[in-house]
Amino acid sequence: MKLAFSTLGVPGLPLDDVLRLATTHGYHGVELRAHPEEPVHPGIGPEERADAAARFEAAGVEVLGVAGYARVAAPADDDTPVLDQVRELVDLAADLGAPYVRVFPGGDEQSADEADATAARRLGVAAEYAAERGVRVLLETHDSHRTGAAASRVAGLVGHRNVGVLWDVMHTWLGGEQPSASYAALSPYLGYVQVKDIADADDTTPLALGAGVLPLAECVEVLSREGWDGWLCWEYEARWYESAAPLEGLLGAGRELLGRLLNESA
């Protein structure tokens, strides 16, 4: 498996510094948070995109994905604004050479059936656009669809190889789903896996990997046992928690922990 980290853990950090952290600590790739406060986002132009792609290539670091905030299950009379958001993310990913785009469900204001149908309809349209650009759109296990069972319902309805699921291990755990059950539901659609750690269900302040309660060893063991050979991406949500320790000081130990878990599961 390859290892990455998300720039959500180092919000607003210049790209050269992000690449320095990746190369210094032995990460193979980076998930880019696609928000206007970041150096890389859908609003930048062709020259900036080409420059970013060149910097990643020169550093030998892959752009794993573009983490966007489109909410594909959110209720609305018109699908166009959401689809425009997804298309912008797909274009950015294609320009950077990234294989994945992350989107959220956001369907809490609808019934489960309505949210599933809304998300599947939009993702079905987005899938054709993404296929033309060699990008896969991933629905994260999050908010209204936090379990593998819920997210896989949508991916199954879409039935297109350019739509899959991003497994956020915190949300499936908070949803009461065991790693083996999450993987069983997600395996036909799995793009990559976000790992993290927290103190408990009532305190999701990010911690160093291995310092909290999330079943990271079990998740890695399940993936290894099933022969899955994709990406593990550490999403350290420092942007939302002022009390979180700086990610830079944790990246080395986090890389070592993931490497040890992978070796133990081999």
**Domain parsing of the chain, residue ranges:** 2-265
CATH of 2-265, one of 3.40.50.300, 3.20.20.150, 3.90.1150.10, 2.40.30.10: 3.20.20.150
Q: For residue range 163-193, what is the model confidence (pLDDT) as tens digits? A: 999 999 999 999 999 999 999 999 999 999 9
Identify the band that residue 111 occupies on the pLDDT scale cut at 50, 70 and 90. very high
Mean pLDDT score, 105-115:
95
**How many beta carbons lie within 10 A of that of residue 146, not counting itself?**
21
For position 184, what pLDDT does the model report?
98
Q: For residue range 208-255, what is the model confidence (pLDDT) as tens digits? A: 999 999 999 999 999 999 999 999 999 999 999 989 999 999 999 999
For position 265, what pLDDT does the model report?
84
Identify the band that residue 256 occupies on the pLDDT scale cut at 50, 70 and 90. very high
- For the cut 80, the answer to whether the pLDDT of residue 98 exceeds it is yes
For position 109, what pLDDT does the model report?
87
- For the cut 90, the answer to whether the pLDDT of residue 195 exceeds it is yes
* Closest listed residue to residue 123, CA positions, set 134, 111, 131: 131
Q: Which of 1-5, 30-34, 104-108, 240-244 has the lowest mean pLDDT?
A: 240-244
Identify the band that residue 202 occupies on the pLDDT scale cut at 50, 70 and 90. very high
- For the cut 80, the answer to whether the pLDDT of residue 266 exceeds it is no
Rounded mean pLDDT of the chain?
97
Q: State percent of the chain over pLDDT 90.
A: 97
Q: State percent of the chain over pLDDT 70.
A: 100
Q: For residue range 114-123, what is the model confidence (pLDDT) as tens digits? A: 999 999 999 9
